[in-house]
Amino acid sequence: MATVAAPGTSAVDTGAGRRPRGWRGLPVVRQLRQSVGLQRGMLVAGLVLTGIFLLTALLAPLLAPYEYNQLRDPSGPFGAQQPPSAEHWLGTTVGGYDVLSRVIWGSRTALFVIVAAVLMSIVLGVLLGLVSGYFGGWLDRVLVVVADAIYAFPSLLLAIVVGIVLNGGESSLLGGIMAAAISITVVFVPQYLRVVRAETVRIKAEAYVESARVIGAGHWRIMSRHVFRNATRTLPLILTLNASEAILTLAGLGFLGFGIEPTAAAEWGYDLQKSLSDVTSGIWWTSVFPGLAIVLVVLGLTLVGESLNDLADPRLRTRRRGGAAPADVAETSVVPAAAAVPTLLDPAREPGL
Amino acid sequence: MTTTPARHVVGIEDLTVSFATDAGDVAAVTGVTLSVAAGEVLAIVGESGSGKTVTARSILGLLPETATTRGAVLLTSKDGGSTSDVVSLSSRQLGDIRGVDAAMVFQEPSTALNPVYPVGWQIAEGLRAHGKYTRAEARAKVIDVMRRVGIPDPEIRVDHYPHQFSGGQKQRIVIAQALVLDPGVIIADEPTTALDVTVQAEILELLRRCRDEFGTAIVLITHNMGVVADLADRVAVMYHGRIVEQADVASLFAAPQDPYTQKLLASVPRLGEGSARAVERASRRQAGWADSEPVVEARDLRIVYPGRLRKPDFVAVDGVSLAIRPGEVLGLVGESGSGKTTIGRAIAGLTKVTGGSLQVLGTEMNGVREKAFRPVRERIGFVFQDPASSFNPLLTIAEAVAEPLVVHKRAGDARGARSRVDELLEAVQLPKAFGDRFPHELSGGQRQRASLARALALQPELLIADEPTSALDVSVQARVLELFDELQREFGFAALFISHDLAVVDLLADRIAVLYRGSLVEEGTGAEVLGNPQHPYTQRLLASLPVPDPAEQARRRAAWEQLNG
């Protein structure tokens, strides 16, 4: 009873039907097309926020009115803690930087950290997860124990240690980004490892992997061709959640003073820390805008992640409800009505069955 | 409403059910009208996706949230006192009639029971939901119903947990759960599909007693025509969401009216059909064939799965000796847990041999190293049970069929092997264009054909088929079996054909080996094993097998009852 009887399990396989090919089959595009209602709203909101973030980061040199480390223009210094005005739409900071420019350039730093952290943790985590799940044994046990140990470690503390080791507290652009990225990588590798390992263990028992073994395929071929591609289904989801956490760690580092120097790059966490004293004296613009940037980017990425999660699960996915008119009966039957169902010795056969 | 409430417990009128799916609305059932009289067994038969389960579940309002139902489902209480339209009831009202007016027996008894509660508590669940009973009253009632469904020592067993019961006993408990409130109708959704043939016969006997002693009507959903012939009074044949034929069981089997029913009945394998062909094949073999080197030879084969955490080891195969000679089809029959699949996997090098000797194409499998066995692998083909999971969902059929060719360096890549793949697809009667499709775009039967093509890609000397048709509908099974037979004649490979279905094995096998609890209890030609079984287990197995002919089945049932004393 493939299509209808057991909505919990088998409908998952058949319900998705034919997967559209081409651009419509791309991960996020496909989910966007199949979503409805509130879930679609969430996904669209998340995508819009993420899109704005990406565009800002990529077009920062065009969008930002000043450089991130610019303190003066031809007409003289900006001045510190200036309220929003025509020259400085969002005012200036206590250090005399233009807030708008710092916020825009800050998105670039955030994007660098995300890309570096995600790339490193995905490559490492997936590789270790595949090996760990596929071969099992003592290697698997050691990796899982190490992963558990890392889980118990606070990521921010780790980031601080890495930051000090990398550049002795004096943060350049690359040093600051790598400190955040590496600490995030260390924290996220276990997550990728666990997810990919669990999928690998499941897929290892699937009949198609056994059939590859029966054929005589080597371990490497089975891992790369049969296990790997099937084990990566849930990765887009962790990736988005991973990315938002990367931003929070970077901001946390900056806030604690282990971030990137203002002369090396713009960084939201650093700006927030410097604006701490402004809050009490009624200077709101120095803290609100970098803070808002962090909140919106994290919100956008989380919304995308959460809605992808819901849409990936057929039980959480909402669908358009049927109208009043009955639809056609599904082509669930495997024997066409007209086709003969011959007895075993009947010579007439249908090739298509 | 053409029926009188007193005579009919269920009246379905013009029922249409559609589901909201990703691909829009899909109707599963359209315009179904049927009724069930009190104390009657109505069988709904049809292939997967024909809507039989949806129809039956609508009687209890047990459809998922995505379903939209139209039409009327009138459910009358057993005493005829009240009639309600299930379609229009609220979920609270549905709760009131479920269990009281209609109850359900599920397919898989091991998942229908909650493992953390004693079975007595679970049976009493229905009592607690529908009335006030003191603890002692409920317990007495539960013990009574357990005794009536044939659980020995119900006073003690009532406090046991589900894992302490066998599969057949669990199904009895599920039936007791359904019977405890004495409903007018029980919906039994494939109640014996997950059970072995010998246990199936006992459960069918119990269901028959439900009807006779409790006066309960039963709606039996099944795809097994033998079960229908054994138990049903009336049969409704569903196809494509509609009822194509309704008749009483004798006239349906004797003179099916609808062409679909005729074809369905014609494709059910029957015992004894294959013996003649086996004899014919044997007569064509050359002299001295019997002395030729066997492809597979097992001597005192023993396979043990190591126990975990102080549990004893599990002996899956114990002292089995058998041989498959070139070009011969050996059918391996046994119930679940008899070790038949383990033997197949050991021959393919998927399971380690623990003791004795297993020679496969000249290689000793006891203690073999993967490296040494790899060259032998290209001489072995394997067809898996479930065609849905034996293909990598991300590879096209052509890529999957080309895998063995690429692995064994007969072709550089899948594209280079395409002409050979096309030949293979043609050999299994699939159009070449199917090579570009993905596995989920093929039906079960088509996938199993592609699976055969993959197994035959390297022209193996030995093919192992592990229940290749048990996941398929009867009509599709017939075609796959026919194809298997044809390919075997054409390519001449030796084969180990594993199945739990004696009739299927009989169709194809030259010799049949019967496994029981890891031991080989009987081996011989189809005529010998089926015609004159020696071992008591084989006799029981044969007698339990329901045949798709009501008159013949009634006779066999009498014999079976005699055999069981």
Say whether pLDDT at B2 is over 70.
no
Structure tokens that stand for B207 in this block: 């269901």
Chain B: closest CA distance from residue A116 (Å)? 29
Query: Does B276 share its domain with B353?
Result: yes
Report how far residue A272's alpha carbon sits from residue A128's, in angstroms, rounded to the nearest whole number. Answer: 37
Question: What token pair was written down for B296?
Answer: 């597979």
Domain-embedded: residue A17: no
- For residue B281, being part of any structural domain is answered with yes
CA gap B460, B377 in Å, rounded: 9
Residues 27-86 of A with CB under 8 A from B: 34
Given this model, what pLDDT does residue A328 score?
52
Does residue B488 share a domain with residue B355?
yes
Q: Which of A9, A34, A214 to mutate to test the interface with B (most CBs of B within 10 A)?
A: A214
CATH number at residue A243: 1.10.3720.10
Domain end, chosen from B412, B428, B459, is at B459
What is the largest distance, in Å, between two alpha-carbon atoms of chain A? 98
Q: How far apart are CA B436 and CA B445, in angstroms?
A: 17
Angle at B436 between CA B431 and CA B442, to 5 degrees: 65
Residues of the domain holding A204: 69-303
Nearest chain B Cα distance for residue A323, angstroms? 8
Check whether residue B346 and residue B327 sit in a common domain. Answer: yes
The 3-state DSSP class for residue B96 equals helix
B351 and B480: one domain? yes
* B108 found inside a domain: no
A284 is a domain residue = yes
Q: Is residue A297 part of a domain?
A: yes
At residue A72, does pLDDT exceed 90? no
Q: Same structural domain for residues B348 and B426?
A: no
Contact A163, A179 (CB under 8 A): yes
Tokens 């005589």, residue located? A216
* Domain match, B469 and B519 both: yes
Which of B433, B459, B485 corresponds to the end of one domain?
B459
B391 and B336 in a common domain:
no
* A15 to chain B, closest Cα gap in Å: 6
Residue B361 forms part of a structural domain? yes
What CATH number is given to the structural domain containing B283? 3.40.50.300
B267 vs A: CB within 8 A: yes
Verify whether the Cβ–Cβ distance A333 to B49 is below 8 Å.
yes
A351 lies in a domain?
Answer: no
pLDDT tens-digit readout, B357-406: 999 988 888 888 888 888 888 899 999 888 888 898 888 899 999 999 99
A-contacting residues of B 301-330, CB under 8 Å? none
**Cβ within 8 Å, pair A332-B53:** no
Question: How many contiguous H segments (helices) and E segments (strands) does chain A have?
Answer: 15, 2
Q: Mean pLDDT throughout B315-341? A: 89
**pLDDT exceeds cutoff 80 at A236:** no
Co-location of B326 and B452 in the same domain: no
Q: Does A313 touch chain B (CB under 8 A)?
A: no
State whether B428 and B481 are in the same domain: no
Cβ atoms of B93 and B166 within 8 Å: the answer is no
Q: Tell me: do B307 and B412 sit in the same domain.
A: no
> What pLDDT does residue A30 have?
76
Give B392's DSSP letter. -
Chain B residues whose beta carbon lies within 8 Å of the beta carbon of residue A340: 263
Q: pLDDT at position A237, please? A: 77
Number of independent structural domains in chain B:
2
**DSSP-assigned states of every residue in A214-282:** HHT--HHHIIIIIIIHHHTTTHHHHHHHHHHHHHHHHHHHHHTT-S--TTT---HHHHHHHTHHHHHTT
Residue A334 resides in a domain: no
**Which of B54, B55, B74 lies closest to B10, judged by CA?**
B74
Position B351 in a domain: yes
Q: Report if residue A350 sits inside a domain.
A: no
> Domain range holding B394?
380-459
The answer to whether A170 and A262 are in contact (CB under 8 A) is: no
Contact of B476 with A353, CB cutoff 8 Å: yes
Over residues B438-484, the pLDDT tens digits come to 888 888 888 888 999 999 898 899 999 998 888 788 888 888 888 89
Instruction: Tokens for A286, please give them.
Output: 């120095």
Question: Would residue B277 count as lying in a domain?
Answer: yes
Across the interface, whether the CB atoms of A210 and B384 are under 8 A apart is answered yes
Domain end, chosen from B431, B459, B487, is at: B459
Rounded to whole angstroms, what are the CA distances from B282 to B275, B277, B287, B299, B327? 11, 8, 10, 24, 11
Higher pLDDT, B531 or A168: B531
Number of structural domains in chain A: 1
Q: How far apart are the first and last CA of chain A?
A: 18
Distance from CA of A86 to the nearest CA of B (A): 51
Angle, alpha carbons B324-B328-B331 (nearest 5°): 75
For residue A26, pLDDT over 80 is answered with: no
Judge contact between B99 and B174, C-beta under 8 A.
no
- Residue B403: inside a domain, yes or no? yes
Q: What percent of chain B has pLDDT over 70?
A: 97
**pLDDT digits 0-9 by tens, B61-76:** 888 888 888 899 998 8
The bridge status of strand B462-466 relative to strand B185-189 is: unpaired
Whether B297 is in a domain gets the answer yes
Is residue B131 classed as helix, strand or coil in its secondary structure?
coil
Same domain, B347 and B495: yes
Q: Is residue B425 part of a domain?
A: yes
Task: Give which of B462, B487, B484, B488 is closest to B381, Cα–Cα.
Answer: B462
Burial class (CB in 10 A: 0-12, 13-18, 19+), A288: middle
Residues of A in contact with B382 (CB under 8 A): 211, 214
Please say whether the beta carbons of B512 and B524 come within 8 A: yes
Estimate to the nearest angstrom the gap between the alpha carbon of B514 and the chain centroid: 18
Least confident range from A4-13, A143-152, B268-277: namely A4-13
More confident residue, B330 or A238: B330
Closest residue of chain A to B441, computed from CA coordinates = A18
B453 and B473 fall within a common domain: no
Q: DSSP characters for A75-140?
A: TEE--TTPPS-SSSTT-B-TTS-BHHHHHHHHHHHHHHHHHHHHHHHHHHHHHHHHHHHHH-HHHH
Residue A1 has pLDDT above 60, yes or no: no
* B positions 229-248 inside 8 Å of A (CB): 239-242
Give CA–CA dist B542/B507, Å, rounded: 15
Q: Who has greater pLDDT, A114 or A350?
A: A114
Burial class (CB in 10 A: 0-12, 13-18, 19+), B341: buried
Cβ distance of B263 and A340 shorter than 8 Å = yes
CB < 8 Å to B427, chain A: none
- Check pLDDT > 50 for residue B3: no
- Does the pLDDT value for residue A54 go beyond 90? yes
The residue ranking higher by pLDDT, B514 or B306, is B514
The whole-angstrom separation of Cα B379 and Cα A258 is 64
